[in-house]
Amino acid sequence: MDALILLIPVSLLLGGIGLAGFLWALRSRQYDDLDGAAARILFDDNPRKEPPQ
């Protein structure tokens, strides 16, 4: 049972990182356009424009 002392904090830490990631993604508006994000991944971005001088 000694393993629990290590494993429980580790699992909580991992879960906490996941939750923090979710909250960050929500705050940076990544959940605002789910349809667009799903479609966007299928296309290449190829900016063919020379940078403005």
Partner 1 sequence: MSILGRALPVASEAVSTGACTHCGAALAAGQDRFCCNGCAGAHALVAGLGLASFYGRRETEAGALRPEEAPPVLDLAPFAAAPKDDLQRLDLMVAGLTCGACVWLVEQALAAERDVLSARASLTARRLTITWRGAAARANDLGALLARLGFRVAPWSPACLRATEDAEGRALTRALGIAAFGSMNVMLVSVAVWVGGDMGPALRHGLHWLAALIGLPVVLVAGMPFYRSAWAALRAGRPSMDLAISLGVLATAGMSLSETLRNGPYTWFDGATMLLALLLAGRVFDRAARRRARQSVAELLALQEGLVNRLLPDGRLEAVPAEAVAAGDRVLVAAGDRLRLDGEAAVDALLDAAATTGESVPRRYAAGEPLPAGAVNMGAAFTMTVSASAKDGSLAAMARLLERAEQAKGRFVAIADRASRFYVPIVHAVAAATFLAWWGVLDAPWQVALVNAVCVLLITCPCALALAVPAVQVVAVGGLFRRGVLVTSATALERLAGADHVVLDKTGTLTEGRPVLLPEGQDPATLRRAAGMARASRHPLAQALARACPEAPLAAGVREVPGQGLEAGAARLGSSAFCGLGTSADGMTLVFRDGEGAPVAFRFADRLRADAAASVAALGELGLPAELLSGDGEGAVAAVARQAGIAQWRAAADPLAKQARIAALMKAGRHPLMVGDGINDAAALAAAHVSASPAGATDLAQTASDLVLQREGLSALPAVIRIARQAQSIARQNIGFSLVYNVVAVPVAVLGLVTPVIAALVMASSSLVVVLNALRAAKD
* Positions 11 through 50 that interact with partner 1 (CB under 8 A): 11-12, 15, 18-19, 22-23, 26, 31-36, 38-40, 42-43, 45-50
- Residues 9, 15, 16, 17: is their CA dihedral positive or negative? positive
Q: Which of 6, 38 has the CB closer to partner 1?
A: 38
Which residues, at least 6 apart from 23, have a Cβ–Cβ distance to it below 8 Å? none
Contact in structure between 25 and 31 (CB atoms under 8 Å):
yes
Q: Which parts of this chain interact with partner 1 (CB under 8 A)?
A: 1, 4, 8, 11-12, 15, 18-19, 22-23, 26, 31-36, 38-40, 42-43, 45-50, 52
